[in-house]
Amino acid sequence: MSIPEISPRQAQERQARGAILIDVREAHERALGMAQSARGVAKAELESDPATHLPQRDAEILLICQSGARSLQAAEALQAQGYADIASVQGGTTRWIADGLPVAEPSQDIDMDFHDRYSRHLRLPEVGMEGQKRLEAARVLLVGAGGLGSPAAFYLAAAGVGTIRLADDDVVDRSNLQRQILHTDERIGIAKVESAAAALTALNPRTTIEAVAERITSANVERLLHGVDVVVDGADNFPARYLLNDACVKLGKPLVYGAVHRFEGQAGVFDAGRHRGIAPCYRCLFPEPPPPEAAPNCAEAGVLGVLPGVIGLLQATEAIKLILGIGEPLAGRLLHFDALSMRFRETRLSPDPGCAVCAPGRAFPGYIDYAAFCAGG
């Protein structure tokens, strides 16, 4: 039996005669304004336990959402559970307001910038208000404001990560602009973290950028990691990679790894610090750095300009998933990307029971400041 769809005006008339009007949007949507005298019950909540909100199955029930789609789906779900007298309001709250029908005033303490800026996140059940607040409270350390750090930083800021601590001691060079999209021609010669802070603040002034114009070393690595929830390695050089790995194991922080070379890239999550003996660290894969002649940097080997964009976006995705606690992170998996063939492949990784850094019960061996094997991204 199909669900009747009625106009907002018809719904208002039926409501005046005793019909129950329920707004099935999420709480953050209803806070912006809803049809007057409507009850607010989120769609998922109503569908999972309708008897709590609608104990009388023979009551006349009208459902409304933003545009009419969700209310129709909810009506079909209720009908399947035995509610017979049910209808959906066509055009939803949008049409209700357009028709000049009375609405309840928005909450006085609502943060309109928050709701507007993150509206698409708020509509995702996996994120919602709680998840977005978690992102806003999160602190991420991003080492490197270059090829990998640029897309990662842009999307972390856009997603609403509350604080990004950005560490890089380099200055903007014209050769960077082919791939390091945080920077512009007019900012050549200034510190990368200063250039990045300007770009990210312009994108999302709600995100706090802690610009640290320093190269990561054994002397400052723990200070840089202090208080952060997730570490993103955008430096793409071996000294930084091993320092970050070792510090993240010692301090129990998840590390989002990325690397690029010519037309190929890799991404992964190393979370041995929180999951000893279960998740590997970077040293489980590569116990020691390769010799300098085996690790040419971007300036020597070249890199396709869009490649760091792909890998940096994957890193931002993994960082956001880790903050929200959703999905399956790349822990124990290394994702390989070949831009020329446009193919991804995956390598499964296991923890090394003899790892010098993350083996269960092993004391931390201390940091090693390796000689620079390549320049930052």
pLDDT digits over 141-191, tens only?
A: 999 999 999 999 999 999 999 999 999 999 999 999 999 999 999 999 999
CA-CA distances (angstroms) from residue 142 to 70, 152, 183?
Answer: 39, 8, 16
Q: What string of DSSP letters covers 87-145?
A: EEETTHHHHHHHTT--EEPPPTT--HHHHHHTHHHHT-TTTHHHHHHHHHH-EEEEE-S
Rounded CA gap, 259 and 257, in Å? 7
**pLDDT > 60? residue 377:** no
CA-CA distances (angstroms) from residue 261 to 265, 312, 370, 374?
Answer: 6, 13, 20, 12
pTM for this model (two decimals)? 0.83
Q: For the chain, give the mean pLDDT.
A: 93
Residue with tokens 């994702």: 335
Rounded CA gap, 172 and 149, in Å? 13
Query: What is the predicted pLDDT for the residue at 292?
Result: 66
Rounded CA gap, 78 and 371, in Å? 66
pLDDT band at 373 (very low <50, low <70, confident <90, very high): very low
**pLDDT > 90? residue 375:** no
**Where in the chain are all domains bearing CATH 3.40.50.720?**
121-348
Token pair for 60? 């006349």
Rounded CA gap, 285 and 355, in Å? 9
* Homologous superfamily (CATH) for 5-110: Rhodanese-like domain (3.40.250.10)
25-63 pLDDT, tens digit per residue, is 988 888 888 999 999 999 999 999 999 999 999 999 999
pLDDT, mean of residues 247-253 = 98
Query: What is the predicted pLDDT for the residue at 295?
Result: 63
**pLDDT > 50? residue 372:** no
**pLDDT > 50? residue 229:** yes
DSSP class of residue 265? E
The separation between the first and the last C-alpha atoms of the chain, rounded to the nearest angstrom, is 61
Rounded CA gap, 231 and 362, in Å? 23
341-354 pLDDT, tens digit per residue, is 999 999 999 999 99
Closest CA to 334 of 324, 349, 322, 344: 349
For residue 123, count other CB atoms closer than 10 A to its CB: 15
Query: What is the predicted pLDDT for the residue at 166?
Result: 98
**Where in the chain are all domains bearing CATH 3.40.250.10?**
5-110
Radius of gyration (C-alpha) of the chain in whole angstroms: 26
| Helices 307-324/149-159 angle, 10° precision | 40
**Lowest mean pLDDT, pick from 110-124, 266-280, 292-306, 349-363:** 292-306
Show the beta-strand stretches assigned E in the chain: 5-6, 20-23, 34-35, 39-40, 61-64, 86-89, 103-104, 139-143, 163-167, 208-212, 230-233, 255-261, 264-270, 333-338, 343-348
Query: What is the predicted pLDDT for the residue at 178?
Result: 96
Residue with tokens 């350390």: 141
Q: Which CATH entry fits the domain spanning 121-348: 3.90.1200.10, 3.40.50.720, 3.40.50.360, 3.40.920.10?
A: 3.40.50.720
pLDDT band at 298 (very low <50, low <70, confident <90, very high): low
Rounded CA gap, 335 and 254, in Å? 17
